[in-house]
Structure 1
């Protein structure tokens, strides 16, 4: 567990997710899905069986090359950041990064803090050698942050997503550790 202050002075707790968080995480994802067009799901589209999601969270905690972090204010989730990696020997060195922050807490330094935390964790786990991510070509704010910490564009998936009646490209980025 780690504490940090946002630019607005609010204290945030960053901790690893557990199976007890499953319902709150599903609810959080279903709300933030309606706040942005940059996620792979919209409002109320993060449909997961609660027990299956609890199992997923518990199994992820046991993996040395995967982690799920929660950012909370007053015991309420305001952000989730993840690195999920394959158990397969050929790919277990690559962690797939994801981050979601509630709209009202964007631009307050939380994204950078979570990303820095995960990069340090990945460097220290003894397995992860690369962090990969995908994002919408229009997610300029996020891509700027990723580039600041060393991510490079590795490819473009053309017409890979469909949001609000428009096909868009997905940008693949990677960070070699």
Structure 2
């Protein structure tokens, strides 16, 4: 199910484009993800663990295009990818009505309204998707901006796993949240 590209003005007055990711975006998206992983304490992947080649990136993007319950959107400013959101639909028949959300953006675009706009676009797509019924995500409980965004978008808390993440000997709790889209 295709999504129409949409131009949006953020809180900072800058116009961005949100569109479906295409295979030829692989290298640029990979570079953006590498940058925001390095600059975020709330993405549970270390920079040295991110080893996605361009070819693997192309395959990853293609998996979203090929699966009817999955979506990968990117946000662009001046033809540069500044963030992305993905809905990874479960391939198992008994769970194909669910998709997990992943999102990231460059540090300078945080708290600009970009996360809200990416979430709105993904949720709107999911509500029109004939397969999806539940979106879910996991977030560090310390990520107050993230938790606030998800609550604002209608997500409810499902539970916390204590000490789920461990970075540099420090533990962080993991909050699971979900949203019914049907």
- TM-score, normalized by length of structure 1? 0.95
Q: Which residue of 2 aligns with 1:85?
A: 89
TM-superposed deviation, 1:44? 4.5
From 156, 159, 162, the counterpart of 1:152? 156
From 7, 21, 36, the counterpart of 2:25? 21
Any gaps of 5 or more consecutive residues in structure 1? none
Q: Which residue of 1 aligns with 2:109?
A: 105
Q: Which residue of 2 aligns with 1:31?
A: 35
Q: Which residue of 1 aligns with 2:174?
A: 170
Q: Distance in 2 between matches of 1:56 and 1:145?
A: 26
Q: Distance in 2 between matches of 1:146 and 1:93?
A: 20
Q: Distance in 1 between matches of 2:11 and 2:154?
A: 23
Give aligned pairs, total: 177
Q: Distance in 1 between matches of 2:108 and 2:55?
A: 30
Q: Which residue of 2 aligns with 1:69?
A: 73
When the two chains are superposed, the root-mean-square deviation of aligned CA atoms in Å is: 1.2
Structure 2 SS opposite 1:24: helix
Q: Which residue of 1 aligns with 2:64?
A: 60
Q: Distance in 2 between matches of 1:11 and 1:162?
A: 37
Q: Which residue of 1 aligns with 2:49?
A: 45
Any gaps of 5 or more consecutive residues in structure 2? none
Q: Which 4+ residue blocks in structure 1 deviate beyond 4 angstroms?
A: none
